[in-house]
Amino acid sequence: MSYIRFLSLSLGLILFISCSAQKAVDKPVLPSQGAHLVSMNPDLLWQLKRVSATGISKDGRELVYKVSTPNIDSNTFSGQYFKVPVQGGTSVMLDKKDGLVRDKNISPDGKYLLFDKAVKIEKVNGNDFHPDMTNTTAQIYTALDYRHWDTWNDGSYNHVLYRNADAPETSFIDIMGQEAYNSPQKPFGGDEDYIWSPDSKYILYVSKKLTGTKAVVSTNTDIYQYELATGKTTNLTADNKGYDTNPQYSVNGDLAWLSMATDGNEADKNDIKVLSNGIVMNLTAHWDETVMSYKWSNDGRKLYFIAAVDGTLQLFSVIFPGKTKIMPLVQQLTKGDWDVNGIIGETGELVIVSRTTMNRATELFSFNLKTERWNQLTHVNDDLYKNIADCRTERRYITTTDGKQMLVWVIYPPGFDATKKYPTLLYCQGGPQSALTQFYSFRWNFQLMASNGYIVVAPNRRGMPGHGVEWNRQISKDYGGQNMRDYLSAIDAMAKEPYVDKDRLGAIGASYGGYSVFYLAGIHNKRFKSFIAHDGIFNWQSMYGTTEEMFFVNNDIGGPYWDDANRKGYTDFNPVNLVAKWDTPIYIIQGGKDYRVPIGQGLEAFNAAQLKGLKSKLLYFPDENHWVMKPQNSIVWHREFFKWLRETL
């Protein structure tokens, strides 16, 4: 599944007064801005440690988690495991985590171990065909799917395997045989793509059993059931033609999974389905949002899930009716200006989750289902944050050109003074159908931007989840339409504020946000003084000719450029056709290993800007993909980002 579309959700708490640019009644209060507090900067950001949960211990009393620490000198990360009581308390460093948390890959009867590895299936390399040419670097392809995300296809496929728990590692059974299909799915699938059945008789796995050109135009992954005794494989979701992913069994043996109905639409409504007693039920079919992730309750009577609602990610539950005729009931469990971005599990009255805000990186919390009280369990970065000034985040609702109310997050610099004027950045979210919530990014970090003296305006424009399915869907085949007007509505409303310097406005973004910057550069009518575009689509024709997941461009732009039915997407919504109107400094960032939005997009845009004589700069990362992953590259990214803004704003 594509990274570009993974969704998020949540419900707002603050009341607003209706007007063109509405101010929240309740404004979050900054902590005392004493002299000891410093503003966030790139070096401080990269001192933060990354927290991720491993799981709840078998006895339900402790939470096991990992802390990853960036090492700037070695350009790597190091990891250490810890445990902490689920009721709260002191964390203890672990020598090893083995045995504390149930290993899902050991069969319930303890006899077998499940795992995956890459298996060479097809001939691709030159010496596969010409063994005497041992030093050839040739690669030979006869169909699409020759590269994906940041890797060229070398003829190897991820396969699911199992062996006796006490057998040597070399003694295993490949349940996929010589199939040229992947499980886990590339590029982001992990061991969540395969599970044991409760009776240890079956292995379930997720795979898209299509190859070549057929594979890159389809999202039709299915859940397959492999029987150990017979070697027979059965497709459990053959009737559905979109994504079927993330299978999980309840304690009662009911099978749940996530399902999208439409083939080719990676951002379709994501529902929770359950197979029970031979009957499939869609538990969220009548709910007007989309599910991000889920987990069964310990008793198997309900499922917890995360979804976006009004600019945040929150925890929900849905009742599983079983054999009864009760309508599945969706209930929002948490509310607040934060993101619940991961469900670790349930123990007693507690649900253990991960949580972020725009001012805080991920930490782990418990939520008491009866008292609705939160308890922060990990405090990995507290010592660093206590010396860093927070940035006020504010909800606004802006009236769009078609009369809708659009949520806009506004982030203010520490010590904000409404009597002063501030340069202001319009942040354009990627996706295009990913949620803009209280996330904490180590690149597009709102706290860091605001701490450098900028007001950040972040609209929940058309295309984002959390505002109903129709709002989410609207952007497809309308890339340069209503959502661009939404952007301009947001920045125009904010520019009326006396503390916004309307002569110092910038627009920034990556992926679809980068496309947005390229497009706005041709239609902004001198609103903006500076642009920054990272891995953005610049030319739809060359994008269609070089990207790798064709279902993405087919769904979003309509299909190939040679089909006259798609003319509008390649003319009206194509940034390359607006270059004649470019008149503003632009900074272009591009990853060399980005095969989703390939290198030609950034180079074409930079060439155009240079040949037009515009102040422009290219930041190229030959070893990065659609993201910037290496610590030193990330720090360079931030330093260059703010250097450009200082020069142009």
Average pLDDT score over the chain: 94
How is residue 481 written in tokens?
A: 């339409």
What is the structure's pLDDT at 35?
Answer: 53
Rounded CA gap, 518 and 616, in Å?
13
Per-residue 3-state assignment (H helix, E strand, C coil) for 355-391 = EEECCEEEEEEEEECCCCCEEECCCCCHHHHCCECCC
The H or E element that residue 534 is part of is: strand 530-534
> Quick one: how many helices (H) and strands (E) in the chain?
13, 34
**Mean pLDDT of the region 22-41:** 54
Is residue 8 over pLDDT 60?
no
Rounded alpha-carbon distances, angstroms, from residue 326 to 250, 304, 329, 462: 19, 18, 8, 34
Q: Are 345 and 337 in contact (CB under 8 A)?
A: no
Q: Are 306 and 322 in contact (CB under 8 A)?
A: no
Strand boundaries in 214-270, DSSP class E: 222-227, 233-235, 244-249, 255-259
Segment 309-318, tens digit of pLDDT: 999 999 999 9
How is residue 336 written in tokens?
A: 């607040």
Rounded CA gap, 64 and 378, in Å?
10
How is residue 374 written in tokens?
A: 């939160």
Segment 487-512, tens digit of pLDDT: 999 999 999 999 999 999 999 999 99
* pTM of the complete model beyond 0.85: yes
Strand boundaries in 41-164, DSSP class E: 50-56, 62-71, 76-85, 92-93, 112-120, 147-148, 151-152, 156-164
Q: Are 304 and 316 in contact (CB under 8 A)?
A: yes
Taken in order 118, 124, 125, 130, the sign of the CA dihedral is positive
Calculate ∠ Cα 614-619-625, nearest 5°. 135
**Mean pLDDT of the region 272-296:** 97
pLDDT-derived band at 326 (thresholds 50, 70, 90) equals confident
**Mean pLDDT of the region 48-67:** 97
Residue 192: name the closest of 329, 1, 347 by CA: 1
Rounded alpha-carbon distances, angstroms, from residue 418 to 18, 42, 498: 21, 26, 8
**Phi, then psi, of 222 in degrees rounded to 5:** -130, 165
| β-bridge mates for residue 71, sequence order | 76
Rounded CA gap, 347 and 89, in Å?
16
Phi-psi region of 146 (alpha: psi -120 to 50; beta: other; left: phi over 0): alpha
Q: Are 410 and 440 in contact (CB under 8 A)?
A: no
Residue 436: name the closest of 462, 454, 455 by CA: 462
End-to-end CA distance of the chain: 38
What is the structure's pLDDT at 65?
Answer: 97
CA 19 to chain centre: 32
**Mean pLDDT of the region 141-154:** 97
Rounded CA gap, 313 and 298, in Å?
22
With H, G, I as helix, E, B as strand and everything else as coil, classify residue 57: coil
Active-site residue set: 511, 594, 626
Q: Are 43 and 73 in contact (CB under 8 A)?
A: no
Q: Are 512 and 521 in contact (CB under 8 A)?
A: no
**Residue 44, number of CB atoms within 10 A of its CB:** 16
Domains of the chain (ranges, CATH numbers): 109-196+199-228 (no CATH), 393-648 (3.40.50.1820)
pLDDT-derived band at 583 (thresholds 50, 70, 90) equals very high
* Amino acid, res. 635: I
Give the strand order in the sheet containing 202-207: 194-196, 202-207, 222-227, 233-235
What is the structure's pLDDT at 433?
Answer: 96
Give the rounded percent of residues in the chain with a pLDDT score beyond 90: 92
Is residue 242 over pLDDT 90?
yes
Calculate ∠ Cα 565-546-506, nearest 5°. 85
